[in-house]
Structure 1
């Protein structure tokens, strides 16, 4: 059975971290709390790795236009 992209997101919803690559080179990891068909995302416990270490962002809303890809995170 072929899975649809939103079916895969449903499997990780509130369960495991996801890794998100954004336009402009930013990369964020957090627990996916919600999403819509436009790929607008709500993350909890969001963190961004920078040259200076990890920046904790907390709860974050990401506009779908900025998402390049989203993947289950490897801890």
Structure 2
């Protein structure tokens, strides 16, 4: 993982993030932890499908399945 990616994830700990997966699923949750392989743990996560969402709770996502992670900005 690049230094920039590690820094961004470190700054996002405890914050909400959107995660797009290789399966085209999108998961939103609070970033609890991550490792050098980009495996992440999200709390209070839910899957977003079109206009609907499904509560997942605490999830572990393998880094090899992640396409993109972006912080959620609140207004």
TM over 0.5: yes
Unmatched runs of 5 consecutive residues or more in structure 2: none
Say whether residues 1:55 and 2:37 are aligned partners: no
Which residue does the alignment assign to 2:39?
40
TM-score (norm 2): 0.87
Which residue does the alignment assign to 1:18?
17
Q: Say what the alpha-carbon RMSD is for the aligned residues.
A: 1.4
Alignment length, in residue pairs? 72
Unmatched runs of 5 consecutive residues or more in structure 1: none
Deviates more, 1:17-26 or 1:43-52: 43-52
Say whether residues 1:29 and 2:13 are aligned partners: no
Which residue does the alignment assign to 1:70?
69
